[in-house]
Structure 1
Amino acid sequence: MNFLLKSISFIFHPLFMPLIGVVFYFSKSPRHLPQELIFNKLIALSILTIALPILVFFLLKTLGKAQSIYLKDVKERSLPLAINCGILIIILFRIFPNHQIIELHFFFVAILMSTITCFILALLKFRASLHMTAITGIFTFFLMIAIEYSININGTIALMFIITGAIATSRIHLKAHSNLELIVGCFIGIIPQIIVINYWF
């Protein structure tokens, strides 16, 4: 059981969530987009949101600034979150500018808002759950996509409820977070995605 819950925390690590959200969008959007464009966007996004942060983590670990990829110590969080904010800004200007794919642009605007909030809380010595922020953020994004395009994603919604519950259970079982940190993480993920929906149209 301990191995299973650790695996859940790893498989659904916050680093993978933006890419999952974008893949979902491309698979459900009725807009016709060239396959080459989609491929290029996904490759660039994978490099910036997964490969680059992993390289940064190993650099920080070498420098003694981080011990675990889960950033268990609140003191370890500020610098990685600040770097992630910089990466998100690059994504907003270079990969998903607001004149191209508006839904994905504001998806990442909301992620940036969530990341800045987590960064501020880290400075205040509060460790909101990044796992819950990430999973609830993309869950909300999925719901917004379904509403905008009037598509049936009941199966996806059911699966997301299960995954969200599994992640919360995993984080509590592993004593990675308190209930309050999980709840705050949920709000940090959900609220920005709801705010930016007004700019989609």
Structure 2
Amino acid sequence: MTHHILKSISFIFHPIIMPMIGVLFYFSKTRRFIPDEIIYAKLVSISILTILLPILLYFLLKTLNKAESIYLKNVKERIIPLCLNCIIVLLIINRVLPISEIIELYYFFLGILISTITCLVLAIFQFKASIHMMGLAGVTMFFFALSLYFSININGTLALLAVITGAVATSRLHLKAHTYPELLVGLFIGFMPQLLLINYWL
């Protein structure tokens, strides 16, 4: 029973959904006036690029025997998906969320790009940083920065994210998907780019 619960936690909070969670949170809290049709267009574009397209690419890689599971357990399996994700994020920050439109989301995705490139470099050197931790840490830091930027109290949300992060870390350890160092490195490379980049928009 516990095994199935912990496995479900890893699936529910898969890193593929983290960028979309960040975007949804931003649009729900922003004090800028953004027309509804613009918000809808951005949400549709980002959901296609960050969720639907990666899923389709995963099935393509699986068909080509380049990936065994959606969790990318093998270090070598990570290289192609991470490269493809870098291209997708570059497309987002150049076409969907350029710096001239929504600066906060531009830097959020720039932080995701830096984290992904770092994770890719580590994978090339045979180190399997936790992408789950990377995604959660990046979103948590972005939420915290937005709370300062818009002067809003989201202590409950941040506490919930801390609990979720702990649950996901426990899940990854239980499933023997990662070691403690891999989880800590994932947290670091997800957190630091978002922290450093807030100097450009906060």
Match of 2:87 in 1: 86
Query: Structure 1 regions of 5+ residues with no counterpart?
Result: none
Alignment of 1:12-91 (within 5 A): 12-91=13-92
Letter in 2 for 1:109: L
Letter in 2 for 1:96: L
TM-score, normalised via structure 2 length: 0.98
Q: How far off is 1:20 after superposition?
A: 0.2
Deviations 1:144-193 (A, max 9, x none): 00011111001101111111111111101111000000000000000000
Match of 1:163 in 2: 164
Match of 1:111 in 2: 112
Match of 1:9 in 2: 10
Which portions of structure 1, spanning 4 or more consecutive aligned residues, are displaced by more than 4 angstroms? none
CA distance in 1, matches of 2:124, 2:17: 24
TM-score, normalised via structure 1 length: 0.99
Match of 2:123 in 1: 122
CA distance in 2, matches of 1:175, 1:28: 37
Letter in 2 for 1:97: P
CA distance in 1, matches of 2:12, 2:38: 27
CA distance in 2, matches of 1:8, 1:65: 25
CA distance in 1, matches of 2:93, 2:175: 34
Match of 2:142 in 1: 141
Q: Is 2:102 the counterpart of 1:101? A: yes
Q: How far off is 1:10 after superposition?
A: 0.6
Deviations 1:38-80 (A, max 9, x none): 1110111010000000110100110011001000000100010
CA distance in 2, matches of 1:81, 1:158: 29
Query: Structure 2 regions of 5+ residues with no counterpart?
Result: none
CA distance in 2, matches of 1:32, 1:2: 45
Two-structure CA RMSD over aligned residues (Å) = 0.6
Task: Report percent identity of matched pairs.
Answer: 59
CA distance in 1, matches of 2:154, 2:169: 22
Q: 3-state DSSP class of the match of 1:8?
A: helix
Q: Is 2:154 the counterpart of 1:131? A: no
Letter in 2 for 1:11: I
Q: 3-state DSSP class of the match of 2:129?
A: coil
